[in-house]
């Protein structure tokens, strides 16, 4: 498996030289400065690629795009979408022309990943990302005041949310709003309570089936171009895998992935296997999902979560939590061997240590939430050990 590392570009607090010290050689990045819907030009792609490869002694390469964002109007089916699809296809062609073949993306409406705490305290002084069901409900019910939200919560959860809200300060509420917005690392839109409600109003009447059909259209528009130029698209699961703010989520479980990959059956229409996103769903057996969709896994995010009965969860150590990481790594290695035996040039599955606890001196520099240096390095080292041990035992854990 190819070790990769997410890098947010020249403004990232973690340098390319430091990434090389982790042992990873593949860079996962995007052109975050380009607004959604605009074309990624060959010149812009080559400039970023040249920056990654500028020091030959590092041996780095741009391995995966994460992500090429889908404009919100496509998810809304709003207005004339032809120019947006044309731009997306042009960007795909330009990436392929520059030798970049794997594109991770998501189809989550309004927000990407959502957490309520970005610095949950750990024993010894570390910090973790956390999703608290009651804090999220407090935001939805009493800060956002979303119309009809009460129907989505049990009475005891409404009471717990009210207790949190009544005890919270203006500063805590402001921090929560910023935290909810933090899952948009490259987006230009940030929302206050009124802005949230305004974008939610634009989704009025968008059911699960309606959103699925909009996604189907997106795939029908772009996958033929991917096949033409050799791009492999891989959808990222919803994070968390549940409806959010009254909006459906349609990439949350095995049935969703079966629908998506069946819409336009093609090796170009694949999956990013995110063990943490899928693992946050109580119904999801992540290794089983990986086995089912193994031929279509083009990229993997490996992290772990510890779930709670009320739907809360916290980012766990990479080898702890609720996902059997040893079993999952075995599935990925078995699929990789199958591809190699077929003689495929692209047999290696790139993966990255996803998220990570803030450890040691991580707090001394500002990184994107969930993407500290030491915490991810620890995760990568642990995963590297599991991979090496599993390979030594013929693809099976000792």
Q: Is 32 a catalytic residue?
A: no
Instruction: For residue 153, indicate whether it is catalytic.
Output: no
Spatial distance between the Cα atoms of 89 and 82, rounded to a whole number of angstroms: 11
Three-class HEC string of 22-53? CCCCEEEECCCCCCCCCCCCHHHHHHHHHHHC
Report DSSP state, residue 69.
P
Among residues 71, 236, 318, 357, which one is catalytic? 236
Q: Which of 274, 317, 324, 357 is catalytic?
A: 274
- The verdict on whether omega for the bond into residue 67 sits within 30 degrees of 0, i.e. cis, is yes
Strand order in the sheet with 313-316: 117-121, 127-131, 313-316, 304-307
- Among the listed residues 301, 317, 324, 362, the single catalytic one is 301
Catalytic (active site) residue 274: yes
Please give the Cα distance from 93 to 228 (Å, whole number).
Answer: 9
Active site residue 301: yes
Residue 126 host element (H or E): none
Q: Count helices and strands (H / E) in the chain.
A: 14, 12
Alpha-carbon span 208 to 238, nearest angstrom: 13
Query: Which is catalytic among the residues 136, 153, 191, 371?
Result: 371
Q: At what angle do helices 286-293 and 325-341 cross, to 10 degrees?
A: 10
DSSP letters spanning 233-293: EEEPPPSSSS-BTTB---SSSHHHHHHHHHHS-STTEEEEEEHHHHHTSTT--HHHHHHHH
DSSP, residue by residue, 344-377: -TT---EEEE----B-GGGGGS---TT--HHHHH
Query: Residue with structure tokens 């030594």?
Result: 392
**Structure token pair of residue 44:** 């812009």
Catalytic residues: 236, 274, 301, 354-355, 371
């Amino acid at each position: 498996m190819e070790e990769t590392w997410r890098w947010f570009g020249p403004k990232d607090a973690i340098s390319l030289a430091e990434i090389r010290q982790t042992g990873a050689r593949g860079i996962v990045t995007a052109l975050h400065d380009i607004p959604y819907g605009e074309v990624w030009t060959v010149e812009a792609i080559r400039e970023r690629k040249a920056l990654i490869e500028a020091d030959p002694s590092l041996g780095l390469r741009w391995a995966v795009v994460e992500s090429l964002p889908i404009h919100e109007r496509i998810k809304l089916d709003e207005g004339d979408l032809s120019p947006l699809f044309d731009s997306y296809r042009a960007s795909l062609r330009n990436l392929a022309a520059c030798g970049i073949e794997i594109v991770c993306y998501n189809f989550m409406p309004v927000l990407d990943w959502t957490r309520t705490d970005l610095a949950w305290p750990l024993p010894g002084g570390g910090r973790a990302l956390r999703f608290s069901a009651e804090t999220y409900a407090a935001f939805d019910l009493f800060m956002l005041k979303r119309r009809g939200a009460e129907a989505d919560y049990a009475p005891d959860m409404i009471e717990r949310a009210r207790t949190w809200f009544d005890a919270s300060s203006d500063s805590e509420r402001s921090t929560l709003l910023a935290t909810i917005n933090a899952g948009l690392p490259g987006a230009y839109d940030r929302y206050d309570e009124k802005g949230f409600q305004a974008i939610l109003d634009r989704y009025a009447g968008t059911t699960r089936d309606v959103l699925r059909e909009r996604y189907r259209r997106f795939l029908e528009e772009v996958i033929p171009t991917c096949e033409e130029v050799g791009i492999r698209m891989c959808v990222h699961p919803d994070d968390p895998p549940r409806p959010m703010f009254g909006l459906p989520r349609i990439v949350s479980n095995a049935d969703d992935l079966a629908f998506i990959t069946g819409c336009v059956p093609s090796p170009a229409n694949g999956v990013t296997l995110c063990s943490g996103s899928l693992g946050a769903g109580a119904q999801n057996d992540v290794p089983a999902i990986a086995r089912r969709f193994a031929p279509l896994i083009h990229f993997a995010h490996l992290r772990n979560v510890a779930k709670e009965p009320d739907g809360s969860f916290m980012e766990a150590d990479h080898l702890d939590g609720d996902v059997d990481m040893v079993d999952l790594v075995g599935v990925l290695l078995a699929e990789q061997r199958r591809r190699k035996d077929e003689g495929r040039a692209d047999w290696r599955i790139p993966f990255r240590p996803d998220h990570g606890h803030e450890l040691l001196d991580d707090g001394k520099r500002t990184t994107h939430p969930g993407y500290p240096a030491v915490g991810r390095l620890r995760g990568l080292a642990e995963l590297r050990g599991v991979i090496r041990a599993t390979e030594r035992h013929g693809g099976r854990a000792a």
